[in-house]
Structure formats: structure tokens, C-alpha cells
């Protein structure tokens, strides 16, 4: 009964800054995360990604590990400043070499590469020159960088994701200031979001005009969204939940599938939300071959005036005063180490909401996972809560597919315990532990469980 939950593929995901290390090796330029980590108080315990999992030097072993686990696909990101140390201009050959080797190793191992072009490690040069994503010039630089990647890797890479989680970049990076570049503002997020959408559109245009017909790959964007369940069945709370989803997800997805920002955002934000010009619309509308979704948790939403946002280390309601939504969690929900509630049915409801709003697009869950800290005992890690998490979320995805959602693939976050941004190494999302000091990889029980799920193409 639980069989055949996936139509296409099961993979694992990571990102460059979280695993590579080698932050200033072989010609790599600094990113805004390299800089952000140097600012006292920004990252838990003063941790940095300078060494991280040292994946840069252990790449071949890590691919062997993926093969052992049986991954069919691997989602990783390319470090923009490893390819273009100054953000634009001269190409760093050694950076190209590294990703060439990684891609070749993956293909030899029968693992399909899924490449994210931007997973938050903006070249620091572009922060200084253009104010990062506040400058439109950064979106042009992104298209040129993407072009370099298509040109060098597109003969072998057939799945491209332009931007990872524009919401996180905009809100956590430019609104709440808890992620790089650390700005605090109630208007900058909407400008940054606008330029991120344009960057996506410009990169996709480049791919379509120069590469797609010969390389025959697909390109899309990945956004993150939690589910928002109305706290009561009052109309006011139902509208609050919809509004919360619009400020979270539709912000970036409506422009791509409908050509404009949601009405709720336009009316509430006024001049703080840039308008989508005719030219922007042409660039952005229809610019994704698939719908990438990262999903972790759910919260209740209630109508409120500038409600507080409890229960989340990042305060991830966004700028809630713009929404008049108050978020909360049920005391019955179990929490992960991120204090994110485990609500598997929320995943199904979100998938169905997306299918209904956007005409059932081909969907990929490009991240889903949980942080738990389980000890290594005699070389094993019994992470039963993580297995239960994956099992319950996959079951609900299966139900969504049965209900007609076109879900084609699934990537667990993450292959390795890694640098969890402002939480440093304190939050462990991996199906593989990384031993402090030696950095030895120790697959957790969830890795072997996932292997069986992939082999069987269904749950146990």
C-alpha cells in the first residue's frame, strides 16, 4: 500500500558553503558568508564554513558514500566566488576543475547531478560594489555567472536550479539580519526579492537562448515554504493563513506562474514592493520548467494586528507586521532541534495548495529533513526520530500523489551534518554524521533506512 510513493527519483542535497570548506584555497574569492562569519556574535559558537566538512578535499569519498547509500540524484550548489572570485570577470580554472571532477564522479557512479547556482554564498565583491541583491547589477552578474556554468558543465548537467530560497535571502538576509549580509529593514527584503526574481529570469533567458536546445536540460527555481493552517475555521483566520502563504511562497511563485505579485502584498506593502514592469513580466512569467520546493514545518495562522511570531529560531513568519498574521504551534506537535514542529500532513496540504493555485506543475521537493542530535555509539548512530520523520513525510507525499499532485522527485536534507548557517555546527540535519576533528563520515541508521526505501521504491 505504501509502495511506489515516488514517480521519478530519490536523492540527497547539500550546498557549497555548508560542506566544502577550502574557503580561500585554489583561487576562491570571499563570499558574504565568509565575511558574515567573521562578525562576532553572528554565528553560534563563532563557527565558520572555513573548513566545514572539507568536502572540497574529500569529494571522491563523498560520492562513493552517496553510491553506497544508493542515491539516484545529488543536489549540490556551485560556489559563485570559486568560479568567479570577484563575482564577475576572470574565471578561476581551479574552481571549474573541481566541479568538473565532481560531476564526472557522480555520472560514473550513476548519480544524476542537480545543480543549484545560488545557495547564498554571494561573492563579497558584489556586496561591496552593488549592495548585493539590492543592486540590479547583481542580477546581470548572476546571469553571466550562470552562463559560465552552463557553458562549462551543461554538457553533463541536465537539471539546473537558479536560486535557492529567495524568501530566506530576502527576509533573513535583508529584513531580520540573521543571515548574510545581515541587513535590518522593512523595505530592503522586497527590493532584494525583486532582484532575485530578475536574476532568475535573466539566467533562464540565457539558458533558453544559448543552451537549452542543444544541451536539452531543464531549469527552474527552488522556493521554501512551511504550511500555514488556519487556527480556527473563521473566515478571518482562513484569510490570514492564505495571506501568510502568499507572503511566503506566492511572493516568488505568482510572478513566475501568473506574471505579478499577489494582490495582498501589493495592497499592504504599497511602494515598498517594486512593481513588475512589462519587461520584468516578460522575463519572469513562465521562467520555470519545474516547481522546486523546500519544506520543513507548519504553523497555525490567525488574524492579528502585528502578531508576534513564537516558536522558531529564525522567527520565520517573515515581517509579520506586514501581514497581520499571528503564528503559533500546537503544544501537541513534536519539535525538532530547530524548534520546527513535525507536521507531516502540512506537507500534503501545501503540495495540494500549490497544485490547485498553479495548475498542477511538475514538482520536486528539493529539501526536506530535520535536525536531531544523536550520539555516535560504537560507530553507529540510531537516529530513530529522523527515520520516523522521513517515513511520515514520505507517506503524506505519497497521499498527495494519489490525490493528483505531480510530484516527481525528492531530496533529503542533508547528506551530511554540516554548517547550519547562523546555528553553526550545533544543528545536525545529516543522514551521515561527521566526526568532529577527524571529519570521518559515519552513516546514521537513517542512511541505511533511506537506502532500502530507494531500492524498494516505497516505504517499509
User: Which residues are identified as catalytic?
Assistant: 165, 367
Choose the stretch contacting ligand PNW; rule: CB under 6 A; options: 31-39, 88-96, 161-169, 180-188: 161-169
Residue 168 C-beta: closest distance to ligand PNW, Å: 5
Residue 215 C-beta: closest distance to ligand PNW, Å: 26
By beta-carbon proximity to ligand PNW, the closer residue of 215 and 224 is 224
Smallest CA-to-CA distance from 33 within 146, 172, 182, 136 is with 182
Near ligand PNW in 209-268, by CB under 6 A: 224
294 forms part of the interface with ligand PNW (CB under 6 A): yes
Residue 166 C-beta: closest distance to ligand PNW, Å: 11
48 forms part of the interface with ligand PNW (CB under 6 A): no
Q: Is-contact 393 345, C-beta < 8 A?
A: no
By beta-carbon proximity to ligand PNW, the closer residue of 52 and 168 is 168
Of 10, 79, 162, 164, the residue at the interface with ligand PNW (CB under 6 A) is 164
By beta-carbon proximity to ligand PNW, the closer residue of 280 and 367 is 367
20 forms part of the interface with ligand PNW (CB under 6 A): no
> CA 298, 300, 305, 310 torsion: positive or negative?
negative
Of 165, 229, 322, 383, the residue at the interface with ligand PNW (CB under 6 A) is 165
Of 150, 314, 353, 450, the residue at the interface with ligand PNW (CB under 6 A) is 314
Choose the stretch contacting ligand PNW; rule: CB under 6 A; options: 98-106, 164-172, 187-195, 211-219: 164-172
252 SS3 class: helix
Q: Give the contacts of 451 (CB within 8 A, at least 6 positions apart).
A: 68, 69, 70
Query: How many other C-beta atoms lie within 10 A of the C-beta of residue 447?
Result: 27
Choose the stretch contacting ligand PNW; rule: CB under 6 A; options: 45-53, 162-170, 324-332, 377-385: 162-170
Residue 314 C-beta: closest distance to ligand PNW, Å: 3
Of 125, 149, 168, 265, the residue at the interface with ligand PNW (CB under 6 A) is 168
Site size toward ligand PNW, by CB under 6 A: 14
Cα(60)–Cα(51) distance, rounded to whole angstroms?
Answer: 17
By beta-carbon proximity to ligand PNW, the closer residue of 358 and 413 is 413
Give the full edge-to-edge strand order of the sheet including 325-328: 227-230, 298-303, 325-328
Please enumerate, as own/partner, the contacts of 390-396 that have beta carbons within 8 Å and a separation of 24 or more.
390/446, 390/449, 390/450, 390/453, 391/459, 391/460, 392/342, 392/344, 393/344, 393/347, 393/368, 394/5, 394/453, 394/459, 395/2, 395/5, 395/344, 395/459, 396/344, 396/345, 396/347, 396/348
By beta-carbon proximity to ligand PNW, the closer residue of 81 and 154 is 81
Residue 171 C-beta: closest distance to ligand PNW, Å: 8
Residue 366 C-beta: closest distance to ligand PNW, Å: 8
Please report the DSSP string for 278-304 in residue order. Answer: HHHHHHHTT--SSEEEE---EEEEEE-
149 forms part of the interface with ligand PNW (CB under 6 A): no
Q: What b/e string do you get for 18-37 counting C-beta neighbours within 10 Å, with b at 16 or more?
A: bbbbbbeeeebbbbbbbbbb
367 forms part of the interface with ligand PNW (CB under 6 A): yes
Q: Is-contact 261 236, C-beta < 8 A?
A: no
Of 159, 316, 320, 336, the residue at the interface with ligand PNW (CB under 6 A) is 316
Q: Measuring CA to CA, how many Å separate 339 from each of 61, 311, 335?
A: 33, 6, 5
Of 5, 12, 15, 229, the residue at the interface with ligand PNW (CB under 6 A) is 15
Cα(109)–Cα(97) distance, rounded to whole angstroms?
Answer: 18
The residues of the shown chain that bind ligand PNW, judged by CB under 6 A, are 15, 18, 164-165, 168, 224, 294, 296, 314, 316, 367, 413, 420, 429
Amino acid at each position: 500500500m505504501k509502495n511506489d510513493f515516488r514517480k521519478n527519483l530519490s536523492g540527497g542535497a547539500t550546498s557549497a558553503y555548508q560542506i566544502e570548506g577550502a574557503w580561500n584555497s585554489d583561487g576562491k574569492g570571499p563570499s558574504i558568508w565568509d565575511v558574515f562569519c567573521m562578525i562576532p556574535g553572528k554565528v553560534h559558537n563563532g563557527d565558520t564554513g572555513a573548513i566545514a566538512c572539507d568536502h572540497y578535499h574529500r569529494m571522491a569519498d563523498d560520492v562513493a558514500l552517496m553510491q553506497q547509500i544508493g542515491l539516484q540524484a545529488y543536489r549540490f550548489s556551485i560556489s559563485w566566488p570559486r568560479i568567479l572570485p570577484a563575482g564577475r570577470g576572470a574565471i578561476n580554472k581551479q574552481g571549474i576543475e573541481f566541479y568538473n571532477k565532481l560531476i564526472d564522479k557522480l555520472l560514473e557512479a550513476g548519480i544524476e547531478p542537480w545543480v543549484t547556482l545560488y545557495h547564498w554564498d554571494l561573492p563579497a565583491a558584489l556586496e561591496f560594489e552593488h549592495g548585493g541583491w539590492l543592486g540590479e547589477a547583481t542580477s546581470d552578474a548572476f546571469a553571466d555567472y550562470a552562463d559560465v556554468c552552463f557553458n562549462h558543465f551543461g554538457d553533463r548537467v541536465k537539471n539546473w536550479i537558479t536560486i535557492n530560497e529567495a524568501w530566506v535571502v530576502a527576509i533573513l538576509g535583508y529584513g531580520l539580519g540573521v543571515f548574510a549580509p545581515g541587513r535590518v529593514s522593512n523595505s530592503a527584503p522586497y527590493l532584494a526579492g525583486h532582484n532575485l526574481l530578475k536574476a532568475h529570469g535573466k539566467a533562464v533567458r540565457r539558458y533558453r537562448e544559448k543552451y537549452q536546445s542543444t544541451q536539452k536540460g531543464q531549469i527552474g527555481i527552488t522556493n521554501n515554504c512551511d504550511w500555514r493552517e488556519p487556527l480556527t475555521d473563521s473566515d478571518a483566520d482562513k484569510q490570514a493563513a492564505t495571506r501568510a502563504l502568499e507572503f511566503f511562497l506566492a511572493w516568488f511563485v505568482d510572478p513566475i506562474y501568473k506574471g505579478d505579485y499577489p494582490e495582498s502584498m501589493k495592497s499592504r506593502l504599497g511602494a515598498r514592493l517594486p512593481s513588475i514592469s512589462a519587461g520584468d513580466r516578460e522575463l519572469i512569467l513562465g521562467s520555470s520548467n519545474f516547481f522546486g520546493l523546500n519544506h520543513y514545518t507548519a504553523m497555525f495562522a490567525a488574524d492579528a494586528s502585528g502578531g508576534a511570531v513564537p516558536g522558531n529560531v529564525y522567527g520565520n513568519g517573515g515581517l509579520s507586521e506586514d501581514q497581520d498574521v499571528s503564528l503559533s504551534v500546537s503544544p501537541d506537535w513534536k519539535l525538532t532541534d530547530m524548534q520546527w514542529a513535525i507536521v507531516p500532513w502540512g506537507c500534503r496540504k501545501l503540495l495540494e495548495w500549490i497544485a490547485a493555485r498553479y495548475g498542477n506543475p511538475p514538482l520536486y521537493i528539493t529539501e526536506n529533513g530535520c535536525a536531531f542530535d544523536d550520539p555516535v555509539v560504537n560507530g553507529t548512530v540510531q537516529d530513530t526520530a529522523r527515520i520516523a520523520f522521513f517515513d511520515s513525510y514520505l507517506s503524506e507525499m505519497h497521499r498527495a500523489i494519489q490525490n493528483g499532485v505531480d510530484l516527481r522527485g525528492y531530496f533529503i536534507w542533508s547528506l551530511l551534518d554540516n554548517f547550519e548557517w547562523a546555528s553553526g555546527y550545533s544543528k545536525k540535519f545529516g543522514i551521515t554524521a561527521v566526526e568532529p576533528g577527524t571529519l570521518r563520515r559515519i552513516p546514521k541508521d537513517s542512511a541505511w533506512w533511506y537506502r532500502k526505501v530507494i531500492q524498494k521504491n516505497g516505504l517499509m
